[in-house]
Each structure stands twice: as structure tokens, then as C-alpha cells.
Amino acid sequence: MMTSSHRLPAEWEAQDAVLLAWPHHNSDWVDILDEVLPVYLDLARQISRFERVIIITPEPEVVRAQLRDAGIVSDRIHLINILTNDTWIRDFGPITVFTNGHPCLLDFGFNGWGLKFAADMDNLVTRQLARTPLFSAIPTEIIGLMLEGGSIESDGKGTLLTTSNCLLNPNRNPHLTKGQLETELRTRFGLQQILWLDHGWLAGDDTDAHIDTIARLCPDDRILYVRCDDPQDEHYDTFQRMEQQLRSFTTTTGTPFRLIPLPWPQAQYEGEQRLPATYANFLIINGAVLVPCYQDAADQKALETIGACFPEREIIGIDCRPLIKQHGSLHCVTMQLPTGVVS
């Protein structure tokens, strides 16, 4: 039984909206802007069928015209003029917790995944959102820790799943020991247990192994996870070890998780750089799950596997080949906002 006044909800709980940060000419998308724009338009189109979409952009009139030209006209889409360095809002957007049943936005620090990329504008997004009419009715708390939304998974009932490679990396919070960081996370999120994955990573990933690229908590104590079944692949050993560790994890009641492997897409490259294609980077929304696809033979199996975990939701594939060229995928460019957050 959870006794904390704080609770970090699961992604599959009811939502008010999904946040998107739109690509622009001053972001890393500049060289393939025409290629990536259709992905964002598809996201806006599909999400707005089920719930609101809040788009932050430094050029709202341009985005409004792009939506209109694509035939996307919906009163569920809201545009907010905010400057960004880039578009990976999962990692710099607000993380919602419930305190005594009421939502609060937590504004953690974002340092470009360990000082790899400029993040001065991205790091200010949450506090700027908090000053807009859509968010001004609920409290926002600035937290003195570096933490990205893609680095944590919650089941909504006291379990956090994460990776030691990311959260314990000295490029995030070098002043904290593992024990001190655990204390902070347990306090902020009302946790009963933190499950640390010590294995699993994707070539081409800039995040130091975000959990949302390799293993995801799902309803009914399930975990959908990446399995590499090719012994010749560079990832084979680490994902074999990850699978073994996942088998040792239990729920807060001591029950083993129900482990469901995701298929392994063929290796994709941009030049000689391998890209981080993964089916684990799906987004759960009201009534649907959006699944990244890569025009790969394994796409259909991934859709079916994820669909079996969410039988009451529509399963929608999104072509994310342009997204992985900037080393992320579908979940990374979105952030859900639970019910009660948006005015």
C-alpha cells in the first residue's frame, strides 16, 4: 500500500493532452526539415483524434499554415510561442506528479543529455509553459536535479524502472551517490521501489541508454522489452544480459513481471552511423498507442505485440525513419499530460 502523498502516474492513465515541440530551421532538423515535417504532421493528426495536442514553436504562424496545408484543422490543437533548441520534449518538458490527488508539474534540469548539445532554451520550456493560461491553474516546482522524462518508467503504483547507465552517469548528477539519488526519486515520486537495469543500449543513441528505448512498463504488470535475436549483432550480448536481469525483477507485491519481447528491426544506417531503431519507443494516449515503424519486415509483428498489451486501444503505426536520423524516435518527441493538468 502506497503511503506517500506523491504519485508518479503511469502513461496509460487518462490524459488531457500531448506536448510536441515543432522542428524549425534553428534546430538540428534544418538539413532534413522537409523529410521530418510529415512525421510531426502525422503525430498531430493522429493524437488530435483522441485528445488535445499542445505544440510549442518559435514560429506559430508557420506551423499553423503547415497544419492547414496538410488538412489538419482541429480545435484540439493549441500553439504556444516558445523558443527551443530542439524538439525532444520528452526530456525537457514537464513531468507530472500527483500530490494528495492533485497534479503538479515538476521542472527538472536538462543539460543536453550530459552536456552533449546546447540546451539553454529547452531548459526554460517548462517554466515558460507554466506561465501560459493552459497551465497557470496548477503548481510548478523547480527541482535541482538533472532528469529526463525518457529515462524513467512508472507503473503508477510505486515502481520506477530506469537504467544505471543514464541516471548514474557522472554527466547528470555527479554530486549524488546512488543512494542519495534513490532517496530524491523516492521522495519526489512517492516510490516503493526503483528497478535499475544495468544492461541494454542502442548504437546511435545520445541519451546514455534511456529506458524508453529498451524496456517499457505496461498494464497488468507487463514489461515490453527489446530482444536482439541475432548473435552476430553488436547488441546481442547486452540484450541477453538485460533479459536475464528483467527476469529477476518483481512487482511491489513480489510477483514476477510478465515479460513480452519486442521484435528486432534490421540495422539502419545514415552513412556509417548506425541509427537507434527501436519498437520500445511507443506512445500511449487515450484510446490508442502510436508505434514507431521503420518500413521493416518486423513492423507488423511489433504492432501486433504491442496491440496484445493494449487490447482496448487502436494501434497506429507512424513512420519514424526520419526521427532516428537525429537519434531518437516517437516517444522521445512527445510528452503526455495527465488529466487535470491543462486548463
| Domains recognised in the chain with CATH numbers | 6-338 (3.75.10.10)
Strands 95-99 and 102-109: antiparallel
**What are residue 151's phi and psi, to 5 degrees?**
-90, 0
Average model confidence (pLDDT) across the chain? 97
The gap from C-alpha 30 to its chain's centroid, in whole angstroms, comes to 23
Say whether pLDDT at 7 is over 90: yes
Look at residue 2 and tell me whether its pLDDT is greater than 90.
Answer: no
Query: DSSP readout, 276-305?
Result: ---TT--EEETTEEEEEE-S-TTHHHHHHH
78 burial via Cβ count (<10 Å: 0-12, 13-18, 19+): middle
Taken in order 317, 220, 160, 139, the sign of the CA dihedral is positive
34-75 pLDDT, tens digit per residue, is 999 999 999 999 999 999 999 999 999 999 999 999 999 999
What is the structure's pLDDT at 135?
96
**Amino acid sitting at position 228:** C
Q: Does 313 have pLDDT greater than 50?
A: yes
The answer, yes or no, to whether residue 3 has pLDDT greater than 70, is no
Asked if 292 and 170 count as a contact pair (C-beta separation under 8 A), the reply is no
Q: pLDDT band at residue 154, thresholds of 50, 70 and 90?
A: very high
Rounded Cα–Cα distance for residues 196 and 214 (Å): 13
